[in-house]
Structure 1
Amino acid sequence: MPQWLNTWNARFARWLWYVVLLGVVAALPVMYARVQTETSADNVAIVMDYRDLLQVSSSQPNPNQYVQEQLKLLKGAGVNAMAVFESTLEELSWAGEINVYNATQAALLEDRVSPPEDNGTYVVFNRPENEKVIRPIIEWAFRHHGAEVTNWSIKDHTGLRLNMGYEDAYIRAMQPNPLSMKMLKDQGFLIIPRISDRFTPYDPDEIAKWLKSFKEFGVTRVLFDGEAVTGFGKGLKFGGVQRFADDLNENGIGVAIFENLKTPQKGMSKLANLLKYNAIRAHSVGEAEMTIIKNPVLEDRLVLAVKDRNIRLLYLNAITVKDGTKGQVTNPMKDIVEVLQGDEEDSVGAVKQLNNFGFKIGEPKAFEVHKAPQETLLRGLAMLGAIALVALMIGLFIPALLLPVFVAGVIGGAGLHVLSPTLMVQMLALAAAIAAPTASVVLLIKRIRVLREGTEAQPISPMRRLGGAILLLVRTTILSLAAIPFIVALLNHITYSLVLQQFRGVSLLHILPIGLVALYVFLYGSGDTVLGNTKRILSMPLTVLWIVGIGILGAAGLYYMTRTGNAGQVSGLELQFRSLLENTFGVRPRTKEFLLGHPLFFAGIFLALRYRWAMVLLIAGTIAQLSMVDTFAHIHTPLLLSLIRIFLGLGIGVLLGLVIIAVWQIGEKLWSRWVKGAGQAV
């Protein structure tokens, strides 16, 4: 490249760094607005599945008495809400409201033989005082489900005959039981109805009546049961969702969104938008999990969900289990109470821990969204800064592309923003997240090479190298963290906090910076051209040692990628280690940062100031630099907590790096003395 072009690119690069700085400064008010949003709602609901409680009670000698005893215990432990499902004949029978019989059983009650053509379902009302409430619910539901409903009685009990097979009728959905909701409300519980999209066709007028009755019970939030939100039903889709949203808004009712579902509930994004994001996130501990999870693990899980992931509704399930070892039926109700209120020996309880972190058990509220003054302008400047950062990173590898990339980024970004603003900001956020750690480590490598070449005649003393390593680590970390304001500003929308949208490209973020840094180490700046270095590497003989090394690197890379993201598998021992970190520091630093990346990176800088081979440690240590950026890609995690996490990890990692450096220096001195002694002996 001509010298004049190098000079011109250097000057232009300097101006682009000012653009990056301008973008970072512009993003700071947006970051502050996000902190305000995240601290605007600190009430947490602890919800028990009332249907599960009824199911558990069915295994007890006196079900109704057992339910009342458990409600008192749960309330005393901190449970402040009950989830009430759409009723079924099964649930109403658990509650003692009805008895349900198939045609054969009904015939026996009447002292007759059931005719083979009768496959109906027979219902008897157990409590005459409640029949006027329960009967209309059953009649409407089954007629809507297409079954003929007729009166039936046995002895002195009135009832109904449903022209539907017993197994089918037993699980058909009906309106949530208003008697249960009234009883629970009278006992001081919040009511969280769980409704579905199982009624075909969807009847908006009937659902509107439900919502009006919910409002009378003080309901302010609903959950959904099944694969879609209410109103998404066949043939209606978003039209039904629109009507349902209108009715929710009219009654002042919001929604809760379960996290980590295998398949997101259909229509949820549309519904949340129509509700102006009157929505909160919910975390559920499944029935099967409750039978095997240990109390300390469950306690940590509940606390971390609220503190680390902005969860505002904790949903607890229960189920009876036949324990062959004990020879009895067991359930987790006692464990739930102990986890919430703690015990004298092992824990203080999840409720007290949440209180210690500033959360209150109460009616959960949606976040109040805050905006920075002139946020549109500030986000525009942040976008410009992010484009400049990406151009600078590419310019480190191909200087001639510096200006073209910047210009193309500005023009292309503007055009894409018009066509698809969401796609544009997600792509730019990913590009900035990759560019910052890559550019910071590449600039570090360039600086180390200059320092090392300037001191080849007189190596730097260990103390000067240590001081230089600290300064270089600080500079590199600051540049890597420059991506954070861009990610926050570009993706500053409540949909990301609710995980209706997510940061895209996490795998690329974990691969590309390491690969680009390795590319720079091996192909750039070693006295030859990139093409020459490539040919030299490709012409090297392939030995067994190289094959083994490549295999080890491949296995390590595969393991690294399996640990990337939220789906990574974690061993029981690591879970205990994580719990220890959480209990010790209050915030758990990321293991790959403080235990691997930062120590290797810090020690690598120290050693690279003297040894060329130590650049390999910088490649591995890039994990920590990109991981700090990746922490903020988890936008559902509170911003302040993420800041604490990365600086805590950095601090611990530097201390471990000092230990590695000290061990190296001691080993180096011992080796030198041994070699010198061996030479004198010869």
Structure 2
Amino acid sequence: MKKIFLAIVALSILLTAPLIYTRAKVEWKNDTYEMIVPYEEIRELVIRGLDEKMIIDTLNENGVRGISFEPMGIQDLERKGQVLTLTKSDLISMVQNKDESTREKILYSRANGLYVLIRNDLEQRWEDAIVQSFGDRIEKVTDLPMFEGESIYFIKGLNKQELNRGMGSIINPILTRPIGFDQELMAAYASYGFEPVFRIGNNIDENNEFVLEQMKQLQDELGGHKIIFTGNQMLGVPPHPDLELDDAEQYALRLKNEGFVIMPIEFSEQKGLQTYAKEFNNKIVRLHSLDFFDGRGGYTERATRAVKERNIRGLYLHIADIKKLEEEVITAEQSFEIAAKEIGAIREQMADKHEAGIAQSFDVLEPAKWMTMAALIGVAAFIALAALMVSEKIAILTFAGMLLVAAGYFVTNSVMFLQLAALAVAIVAATWAAVSGEYINSKKEIVLKFLKGACIALIGAWFVMALLYGNLFLVKIIEFRGVKLLFVLPILLTALHMVRDHVKEVAMAVARNYYFIIFAVICAALAILVMRSGNDATEMVSGAELAVRQGLEDLLFVRPRTKEFLIGYPIFVLAMYIIYQGKGWEQRIGRYLLAGGAIGFLSTVNTFTHLHIPIYISVLRTVYGFIFGALIGLVLIFLYRLAKKYWPLLQERL
């Protein structure tokens, strides 16, 4: 039976090898990252006295290749002096006291809203866009004698005074409603060598869909094809879950068919992302946002790590803090000097493999279904092999259970079954690898069992990568599920396996006070381990540790995981040595220590469950973990032998 399961595992690895090879090749080939700067911040700096050409030249020299543009609204036309917005109060103040009838007409004839006075030199397309965008909310005004011969419109909604009194919680939506992109401006920046990037919000509907038509036109003319969504909702997402609308799916399909690429922002939960991701599949470029004025620091390290280690290919760089500029706590010169310095540092420190340019989405990664089924059957055989340590009956039942999971995926095509199988194989691999050090009969076996544990963990990692395969995993739209379980169960299962033959003896042992202290320390350590798991647990990491991590990063290109080379693998090596040379309780303690050794193997498997990290980075990190962990393990053995030798002498003196 063991040979049969081994043969299935070997065949499964062989059949799924093209998946791993293709993913590694796709990751390696896509080595261009793009730095994107918002035009709105460039405009603010120019308004405050900076030379626009100087800004453009500096950005170009530092490798910035993308400029994001938002569609214009009435407020942008007003800023240019091409329209004038007026409230009822503004109009009333313009009417002489003698014209009481006009004053009353203004005061009582219309609902709340804004008047928009159009200058004669405004292009007709902008006036048409305003009229079309507001639909039945807008009407042309012809009954105001002081504007006879002028083009003036009234738009229903909150006016500026009401917003200033706190009746509105956001900037006036009348002023910001999209009416079109500034085509001439975008063409000018394209001529400077920048790629236009579209930024749109969830405020486009059937009345101003012409904005999307213009995007397609600009894409054809200028080449810009990336979209960043503003706010916490993507285009077409209903404002409330009880509103059963399918606009998001329709817009996603339309934008995908028109050749656009979406750029979801890392760590930003935007509603509708799953819907868009389903339609776009591989046409996704992940984006990391950096605000050089948020006080967090470490911008260079964050940017380089995002590109090098997390397959992020877009960096959205804020070069000005508009609020601070308005409050005059920082000048435009100071603001841009800081930004230019940070951008230059990012490009300077970026790995030689990666170059600044125009980012592209990853090539399509689409596994054949038979390959996924081969991986599922291989997982079933792998877990059954581990179960043979308990009994053949348990192994057969386990194999049958995992085949049911495979059948569930085959029938439903649901990724949930793949995530379940990936979690199971990850937990089993880490546990089996740790348990493999249970019996040691020679020093040579210490080396062999260490290598065996490493191979078992890497086979588990292989199956995780083969199961959770595709672009949506690569760009972290869909993730490995169950990280917390992976960080707890291998340790507990290894510990339970080690006490299985003398449970009664342990249960009947006299409980001493220091037992409870040891138990409390172990529980606290386990809790910290779980809380520090995952990419987003940086709040648990001290400044000193961050500095050490960065030092290792600079020295080794990628740092090994602390849990592996400083904790798990040294404990595993020491545990095997104690098992080899110890007797009685000493040997038993060595076996208990294998539960600590499981930390190293679960961390190794966990490294490969971060499917947005390039394979070569994970492999390099894991090799470092094995080597340094083994070396530190040898140091622990030396210290253990030293302590064992001199402890009796120390006891005599005490």
- Give the TM bin, normalised by the shorter chain: 0.7 to 0.9
Q: Distance in 1 between matches of 2:590 and 2:563?
A: 20
The answer to whether residue 48 in structure 2 is matched with residue 48 in structure 1 is no
Distance (whole Å) between structure 2 residues aligned to residue 539 and residue 248 of structure 1: 66
Cα-to-partner distance string for 1:67-99 (whole Å, 9 max, x where unaligned): 444333222222111111232344445566555
Secondary structure of the residue aligned to 1:632 is helix
Structure 2 SS opposite 1:311: coil
Partner of 1:662: 638
Displacement of 1:544: 2.5
Q: Does 1:546 align with 2:537?
A: no
Determine the structure 1 residue equivalent to 2:300: 299
User: CA 1:157–1:627 in structure 2 vs 1: closer, same or farther (change >3 Å)?
Assistant: farther
Structure 2 matches for 1:131-150, cutoff 5 A? 131-143=123-135, 146-148=137-139, 150=141
Residue in structure 1 matching 2:360, options 357, 365, 382 = 365
Q: Which moved more, 1:482-491 or 1:89-98?
A: 89-98
Within 2, Cα distance between the matches of 1:365 and 1:173?
A: 27
Specify which of 567, 587, 591 is matched with residue 615 of structure 1: 591
Query: Which one of 407, 412, 433 corresponds to residue 414 of structure 1?
Result: 407
How far apart are 1:664 and its partner, in Å?
A: 2.5
Secondary structure of 2:313's counterpart equals: strand
Q: Name 1:586's counterpart in structure 2.
A: 557
Distance in 1, matches of 2:499 and 2:130, equals 74
Q: In the superposition, relative to structure 1, how do residues 248 and 137 fare at CA in structure 2: closer, same or farther (>3 Å)? A: farther
1:434 to 2:440 alignment: no
Aligned to 2:624: 648
Higher mean displacement: 356-365 or 432-441 = 356-365
Deviations 1:148-197 (Å, cap 9, x if unpaired)? 35489989997655443224323434333334323322322111111122
Q: Could you say if the C-alpha distance between residues 149 and 21 of structure 1 is closer, same or farther in structure 2, counting changes exceeding 3 Å?
A: farther
Say if 2:548 is the partner of 1:577. Answer: yes
* Partner SS for 1:396: coil
- Partner in structure 1 of residue 168 of structure 2: none
Q: Is contact 1:397–1:520 with CA below 8 Å preserved after alignment?
A: no
Which residue in the other structure is 1:5 paired with?
A: none
Match of 1:350 among 346, 351, 365: 346
1:561 matched residue in structure 2: 530
Identify the residue that residue 595 of structure 1 maps to in structure 2: 566
SS at match of 1:284: strand
CA contact (8 A) 1:54 1:94 kept: no
Distance in 1 separating the partners of 2:550 and 2:621: 15
**TM-score normalised to structure 1 length:** 0.82
Distance change (3 Å), C-alpha of 1:324 and 1:271: closer
* Compared CA separation, residues 539 and 99, structure 1 to 2 (3 A): farther
Cα offset, 1:291, TM superposition: 2.7
Distance in 2 (alpha carbons) for counterparts of 1:338 and 1:399 = 65
User: 2:236 touches 2:246 (CA, 8 Å); kept in 1?
Assistant: yes
Where does residue 249 of structure 1 map in the other structure?
257
The reply to whether residue 19 of structure 1 matches residue 8 of structure 2 is yes
Corresponding residue for 1:290?
293
**Aligned counterpart, 1:311:** 312
**Partners of 2:329 and 2:41 in 1: how far apart?**
22
Closer, same or farther in 2 for the Cα pair 1:443/1:265, shift >3 Å? same
| 8 A Cα contact 1:197 1:230, kept in partner | yes
1:215 to 1:110, Cα distance in 2 relative to 1, 3 A: farther
Distance in 1 between residues matched to 2:17 and 2:281, nearest whole Å = 25
Q: Is the 8 A contact 1:393 1:438 kept in 2?
A: no
CA distance 1:552–1:370, shift in 2 (3 Å): closer
Alignment gaps of 5+ in structure 2 = 164-171
Instruction: Rate the CA distance shift 1:229–1:328 in 2: closer, same or farther, 3 A.
Output: closer
Provide the residue aligned with 1:528 in structure 2: none
Does the aligned pair in 1 maintain the 2:286–2:312 contact within 8 Å?
yes
Distance 1:594 1:125, change over 3 A: farther
3-state SS of paired residue (2:511): coil
| Equivalent-residue separation in structure 1 for 2:553 and 2:544 (angstroms) | 14
Residue by residue, what CA displacement relative to the aligned partner does 1:519-576 show, whole Å, maximum 9, x if unpaired? 011123xxxxxxxx33333333433322222222222121111101123123333222
Q: Tell me whether 326-335 or 513-522 shows the greater mean CA deviation.
A: 326-335
Separation in 2, partners of 1:328, 1:209: 37
In 2, are the aligned partners of 1:321 and 1:329 still within 8 Å (CA)? no
Computed over aligned residues only, the root mean square deviation of the Cα atoms, in angstroms, reads 3.3
Query: Does the Cα contact within 8 Å between 2:433 and 2:598 map onto a contact in 1?
Result: no
| CA shift in 2, pair 1:122/1:444, >3 Å | same
Alignment-mate amino acid for residue 271 of structure 2: Q
Contact 2:265/2:289 (8 A) holds in 1: yes
Check if 1:80 corresponds to 2:65.
yes
SS across alignment from 1:193: strand
C-alpha distance in structure 1 between counterparts of 2:23 and 2:555, whole Å: 28
Per-residue CA distance 1:601-629 (angstroms, 9 max, x = gap): 22222223223212233211211101101
Helix, strand or coil at the partner of 1:366: coil
Q: Does the 8 A contact of 1:510 with 1:626 survive in 2?
A: yes
Structural mapping, 1:487-498, within 5 Å: 487-498=464-475
Partners of 1:242 and 1:79 lie apart in 2 by: 33
- Report the CA distance shift for 1:480/1:213 in structure 2 as closer, same or farther (over 3 A): closer
Q: CA deviation at 1:642?
A: 0.7
Q: Which moved more, 1:504-513 or 1:84-93?
A: 84-93
Instruction: Determine if the alignment matches structure 1 residue 523 to structure 2 residue 494.
Output: no
* 1: CA distance, partners of 2:358 / 2:576: 51
Equivalent residue, structure 2, for 1:624: 600
TM-score w.r.t. length of structure 2:
0.85
Query: In 2, Cα distance between the equivalents of 1:519 and 1:135?
Result: 75
- C-alpha separation between the residues in 1 aligned to 2:300 and 2:147? 50
CA distance in 1, matches of 2:422, 2:559: 25
Is the aligned partner of 1:334 residue 2:326? Answer: no
1:656 CA drift (Å): 1.9
The structural deviation recorded for 1:508 is 1.1
Deviations 1:486-509 (A, max 9, x none): 111111111111222111111111
How many equivalent residue pairs? 620
Do the aligned partners of 1:589 and 1:645 also contact (CA within 8 Å) in 2? yes
Distance 1:519-1:474 versus aligned 2 partners, 3 A rule: same
Maintained 8 Å contact 2:133/2:208: no
**Partner SS state of residue 513, structure 1:** helix
1:477 aligned residue:
454
Contact 1:291/1:321, CA 8 A, preserved across alignment:
no
Match of 1:486 in 2: 463
* Structure 1 residue identity aligned to 2:14: V
Mark the CA change 1:180 to 1:241 in structure 2 (over 3 Å): closer, same or farther: farther
- SS of alignment partner, residue 191 of structure 1: strand
Which residue number corresponds to residue 104 of structure 1?
89
Deviation track 1:257-316 (CA, whole Å, cap 9, x = no partner) reads 22221x3431x3333443452221111125xx633132xx10111111111111111112
Give the 3-state SS of the residue equivalent to 1:148 in structure 2.
strand
In 2, Cα distance between the equivalents of 1:670 and 1:156? 104
